[in-house]
Amino acid sequence: QAGCVIKQRLDLINIGDVFNGACSHMRATQIWVESIAAVPPALAFTAWPCSDWDTYISGKCPTCGQGCLEMGYHMKTNMKGTYFLRTNPVAPFALGDTQ
Q: In this predicted structure, what is the pLDDT of residue 21? A: 55
Task: Quote the CA–CA distance of 55 and 23 in Å, as a whole number.
Answer: 26
pLDDT in the model for residue 29: 85
The pLDDT tens digits of the residues spanning 52-98 come to 999 999 989 887 776 888 889 888 888 888 999 999 988 888 988 77
Strand order in the sheet with 69-70: 69-70, 46-49, 83-84
Report the pLDDT value the prediction gives residue 82, as an integer from 0 to 100: 92
Mean pLDDT of 35-62: 86
| CA distance from start to end of the chain | 16
